[in-house]
Chain A
Amino acid sequence: MKDLNTTGPAPSAEDMKLIKQFLEDTTLFLGPDPEIMQNHDLMERSPDEELAIGQNFDHHMIARIRDRLQSGCDEGYEMVEQMGAAPGAKWGDVITGIYTASGDLALASAGGVLLFSSVVHHPIKFIVKNWMNEPTVGVRDGDGFIHNDSRYGNVHNTDQSMILPIFHEGRLVCWVASTVHEGENGAIEPGGMPSMAESPSDEGLKMSPFKVVENYQIKRDLLTFLQNSVREPKLQLEDMKVKLFACLRIKQRIEETLNTEGPEALVAMLRLTMEDVRTEVKRRLTEWPDMSVQTYIIQDSTLRENCVVKVNCKLTKKGDRLIFDFRGSSPEFTNRATNTILGGLKGMLSQLFLCYIWPDLPRGQAAMAPIEVITDPHSILNCSYDAPNSQSLMSIFTGFTAGQHAVAKFLYSCPEKYTKVHAPTFNMINTFIWGGVSQHGETLGNLCADLNGMGAGATSNRDGEHALAPIFATMADIGEQEVNEEDVPFLQLVSKKMTRDAIAPGKYRGGQGYTMMVATKDSEQWGFMTTAQGAKIPPIQGLFGGYACGTYPLSKVKDVDVYEILQSEPEKFRHSIEEIMNERPFEEASYTTHHMGMGFEISKRGELFMISQGAGAGYGDLLERDPVGVVKDIEEGLISAEVAARLYKVVFDPATLAIDFEATEAAREEERQARIARSMPYAEFVKDWTQPKPPSHLKYFGCWGDDIDTLYMGAPDVTRRADTPKPNYMPHPKDVRIAELEARLANAGIDGGELQ
């Protein structure tokens, strides 16, 4: 058979033009564009930018314009935070930014979730490429575009963006955009982040970028369609308006600059800001030692079942290049929601650099632009179009932690640091997502801002702070629970009380997480879900001899109405998970524990759902911890005296907590000798320890050891080539349970067959 590609003359340039035109004219669907979606570097300088930069503006003037517009972005951010209806908006899960005419993010608000805006350049580039010259769409002054589908550039489709082009005398000079974690999006579970999604079709509203505003007015027909697609129609309207007005305020600030300094100065400022940051990042990288650092982080569930999902990271720095190599990480799950698109992972790595490593750099896309990222196709960190990703945070955050852990080992020897060397911060969204009909008869679906209360990692000079901030928004707030309770039919009966002994020990210990106990009160149609990993394996690593956090389960107390008990026998109530679960003070109740992937579950009045936020990692050898710090932790209820004495080898009077320093130093020296005695030389140890394949008792996903070309898919004998995608279906947990029970029936000699 003839090969059409290799016989006959090559098509002429004329023919190629025709073929290209034909393909463009007959494109049936404008899906996510790989050219846009795989690239996070800056666009080429445009002719307009060349021209503007050629005018050689004074650097001080450029800096002055940048500061003015930075304030404009911050002003827009404040507006969204103050006026936004979504709980996420109120607590800072928001960002605003200014993008170049080609779509690169040049400036972002100082507060908020930078991660959002470092993915929004993708949909803007999609609009530039596809809608600008499309006669049925077009881009004009007064237009606004909406977007949420992560496959076109987003973290997950619970975040919605409003994108406005800014024109000056008929010429497009830049874009502004505002993004908010909205919550509700019409997915199979309320709240916008379904862990039950088994395909993108289960994830609710999937907006490719489209025009929803004309002449600065939201188009009512499209608005109604969007409202009709989600559980919170009022929220959809309110926040579209809020984002539009925030964008218009930034537009006003830009226009003030355009009127005083002219469009060239603005265009030059946006471009030079990015180029200068990119150059400075390259310079800073040369200060790092040339080295490769390896680490891995384990996700211990898909949120549906426990299993071992590897996020593998080799970070290499050579000269002025930095390369994140995530090959060997788990294959994507075809029917689980914990996959992420590559842009989400890169956005979070950008967050790592701008919030934890070089917080002095202007916030935008440029800091991440020169940094390289390698992944396997159809892997959990670079998933395909057909894979669900509504719980992408699981992979984005564990990918972030791998990066945070690796980077610390580069920074230690650098003479100039811009932050302290930092152990990993806690990385899971341990909070309650909720939904149903409220005490006011309104349909709601959203979450408690306690996801923002992640414990911070320790640094080279001090303990991590408790419940400090989420890794995705270092300046976000954990919100006022009492304010929230005016709108929702449940109470947090225990809120923001540190969970004792859920620790991350070290010379400097990690900041701790707090307990949350919720119980529905004023609705018969109300439920909760939790979406976090780390109930069997800690989701972080420790640093330089410090320990990671422990693990965090979900506890439930059912067949009880604690509100009745609080009325009739209040002395029975306990204020810690430890006491309630161990003492079981409510006689008739049932007490159970679970992993943190609870699908949406309707709750009855007075049943308790109890979880804890997590601790950041510890730093350094715990035997070096100041004994005074250990006793302070006991006094503050972070650690019990017994655990403190056993781990830290601090000798103190149990009644007064007075420290015997000499005895402590002796006990610690004894422990160092005991370590030497109980440990083995490395070569001898690995002979016994190291196995050629993952253990058969674990469902293991990802590479094993250094062989990154082979990815295990749930069993030691089921693999795929890393570069060759293959479906990876998980059975329904209920089917697994049924099969187990049927096997038991069969073993007992009972025929559980079809006709029985």
Chain B
Amino acid sequence: MKIPMTEYLRIDLETEKWECRVCDHVIAPAEGNYKEGLLVHNRNPQEIHPPVIDPKMYRYTFAPDPDWVRILEFCCPKCGTQVETEYAIPGHPPLWDMQVDVPALKAQWAARGPEMLPDAGPVVAPGRAHSH
């Protein structure tokens, strides 16, 4: 059984791995930090939150201060889907944000069965998904 844990990540209970829900890429061991199997980009926050008022004229512009905060963008190495973002103080270790008790997850879903799986998730476009 594969349990959707976030919009883009699932845990395969048999193989005990984090997987990408868009392209089926096997990312990392389920008991570990899924981020270790992703790619990271250190994004200047001003590229996402553009200055509304002119940064040449003003100190505060509606754009975050790139010396104070960065956006860590984590993407799937195979399909490039942006799996998670983390607004981080420069140099702060990225968080191990989901530390899953895998045996407990297995027991929980053994009792539930696959018909209880939540059905929400990403739109998987043809060509981006793993070909079967």
Contact = CB atoms under 8 A, between A and B. Distances in A.
B91 A538 contact: no
B7 A551 contact: no
B15 interface: no
Contacts of A536: 60, 64-65, 68-69
A753 interface: no
B89 A502 contact: no
Contacts of B49: 502-503, 538, 547, 549-551
Interface string A279-304: 00000000001111111101010000
Interface footprint category on B: 35 or more
Interface string B53-89: 1100111111111011101011101011111111101
Interface string A559-593: 00000000000000000011001100000000111
A502 B48 CA distance: 10
B68 A300 contact: yes
A620 interface: yes
Nearest to B91: A691
A675 B89 contact: no
Interface string A534-560: 011110011011111111111100000
A508 B68 CA distance: 26
B41 A678 contact: yes
Given A412-B6, A499-B52, A593 B37 contact: no
A518 B123 CA distance: 44
A578 B53 contact: yes
Interface residues of A, number: 91
A685 interface: yes
B115 to A, nearest CB: 9
B118 A413 contact: yes
Interface string A681-714: 1110110011100110110100011100000000
B118 A672 contact: no
A162 B36 CA distance: 54
A673 interface: yes
Contacts of A686: 40, 93-94
Contacts of B74: 545, 682
B5 interface: yes
A698 B90 CA distance: 10
Interface stretch (A4-12, A245-253, A621-629): A621-629
A395 B71 CA distance: 22
A689 B91 contact: yes
A665 interface: yes
B125 A413 contact: no
Contact of B69 (A415, A460, A538, A680): A538
A622 B84 CA distance: 11
B118 A594 contact: no
Contacts of B7: 412, 460, 507, 544-545, 619-621
Contacts of B86: 541
Given A501-B50, A545-B85, A551 B60 contact: yes
Interface of B: 3-8, 35-42, 45, 48-50, 52-54, 57-65, 67-69, 71, 73-75, 77, 79-87, 89-101, 104-105, 108, 112, 116-118, 120, 122-123, 125, 128
Given A536-B64, A536-B65, 9 more contacts: A289-B101, A290-B104, A308-B68, A537-B68, A538-B64, A547-B49, A548-B87, A689-B42, A704-B92
